[in-house]
Amino acid sequence: MKLITKLSQSKKTLFSIEILPPLKGKSIQSIYDGIDPLMEFKPAFVDVTYHREEYVYRKRDGGYLEKVSIRKRPGTVGICAAIMNKYNVEAVPHIICGGFTKEETENALIDLQFLGVDNVLALRGDSIKTEPAFVPEPGGHAYAIDLVKQIAEMNKSIYLDSEMKDAAPTNFCVGVSCYPEKHFEAPNITSDIKYLKAKVDAGAEYIVTQMFFDNSKYFEFVKLCRENNINVPIIPGLKILSSKQQVTSLPKIFHIDIPQAFYEALESCKDDKQIKEVGIKWCIEQSKELLKENVPCLHYYTMGASEATRAVAKEVF
Ligand code: FAD
């Protein structure tokens, strides 16, 4: 079922999660072990992230270094199919521009359609670690909007080969991402909102936010979106901060702030166990406040921490 249908039919705030494929070599059981404890909260959908290749240098005989391309977390599409089959829940693969030609994107979307996947989250993707800025694949897309446009065309039976006759239309519901604290490359929020609106105008039917720890940032952002005629559901994404290391790494990686009151509570913790307790408490409060405002769905970035997500969901749903 399309997420937009689920979102518009539901009278209450839905619950959803995002998971990462396991590291290459690990079994799919680790995915099930993460989802099983959360099934009692009836997730409306499970997002599965996509991880592109990285380059590493391997020492070879003779001492020279060889540049090798590796993908540490493959399996997004297979995991989506497995989740839908095992749990009868909607799985949403993330598809990215980076590393894909348009042709490869088209073929990947055909695979997804054949597997019965109805929803995709269309993203640009980040630059690979060895590149200072995002570089599109030759013959690929430079921005998420171009990916949204390609999917919207396929939904109208328009494939890359203009000579194709009687092509079956795909039927994807497309989501895109947004950044209540601004995307780090955007010169300002006005410009970021302008491009977000362009993604919606191109066919995106819902939006998922980057994680945030300060609800007022989300509320202000939604207000700004509505003022700019972005009228699709904007799903808040929440992360449970659960280790001392994350206090500095999350702001650095995701370009987000930790509110002062939260930071002070975290600072007074002696160890990671206490940090996790404070993180869970903060996320419960955030969730309850968002719930009061009738947000369409609360989307949790589990990042493998399903135990903490369960602790929050038990208090909120
Ligand atoms: P875009 O919408 O393309 O925007 C990128 C930047 O370019 C923004 O600053 C925007 O303002 C600007 N811009 C947009 N269009 C134009 C234009 N036409 N001209 C000029 N400027 C423009 N990454 C992964 O690799 N895998 C994942 O699974 C993944 N999942 C994510 C899930 C969520 C909910 C979020 C919030 C992010 C996720 N990311 C993932 C990270 C994401 O790919 C990065 O944040 C990336 O830097 C931006 O992606 P985007 O789709 O928002 O890009």
67-80: pLDDT as tens digits: 888 889 999 999 99
Q: Strands of the chain (E only): list them.
A: 14-19, 45-48, 54-59, 65-70, 90-96, 119-123, 173-178, 206-211, 234-239, 297-301
Residue from 151, 183, 301 whose mutation best tests the ligand 1 pocket (most atoms within 8 A of CB): 183
- Residue 210 Cα: closest atom of ligand 1: 36
- Taking the centre of ligand 1 as the mean of its atom positions, its distance from the CA of residue 196, in whole angstroms, is 10
For residues 61-90, one letter each, b for 16 or more C-beta atoms within 10 angstroms of the residue's C-beta and e for the rest, the string is eeeeeeeeeeeebbbbbebbbbbbeebebb
Nearest to residue 18, comparing CAs of 300, 238, 240?
300
Residue 96's DSSP bridge partners are: 123
Per-residue pLDDT averaged across 7-27, rounded? 97
Indicate the residue type of 87. Y
Percent composition of the chain: helix, strand, coil (DSSP 3-state, to 5) = 40, 20, 40
pLDDT at 227: 98
In the chain, % of residues over pLDDT 90: 91
> E strands along 167-296, which residues?
173-178, 206-211, 234-239
Residues with CB under 6 A from ligand 1: 49-50, 94, 96, 123-126, 143-145, 177, 183, 185-186, 191-192, 195, 199, 208, 210, 237
Quickly count: other Cβ atoms within 10 Å of residue 172's Cβ: 22
Per-residue confidence band for 267, with pLDDT thresholds at 50, 70 and 90: very high
- Section 51-64 average pLDDT: 89
CA proximity to 141, closest of 96, 176, 178, 177 = 96
Instruction: Name which of 64-78, 96-110, 181-195 the model is least confident about.
Output: 64-78
Which pLDDT score is estimated for 56? 86
Q: Please provide the average confidence, as pLDDT, over all residues in the chain.
A: 97
Place of tokens 């348009």: 102
Taking the centre of ligand 1 as the mean of its atom positions, its distance from the CA of residue 144, in whole angstroms, is 6
What domains appear along the chain, each with residue ranges and CATH number? 3-316 (3.20.20.220)
Closest CA to 225 of 241, 209, 242: 209
Ligand 1, atom 26: closest residue by C-alpha = 50
Q: Backbone phi, then psi, for 255, in 5-degree steps?
A: 60, 50
**Ligand 1 atom at minimum distance from 134 CA:** 47
C-alpha span between 250 and 241 (Å, rounded) = 9
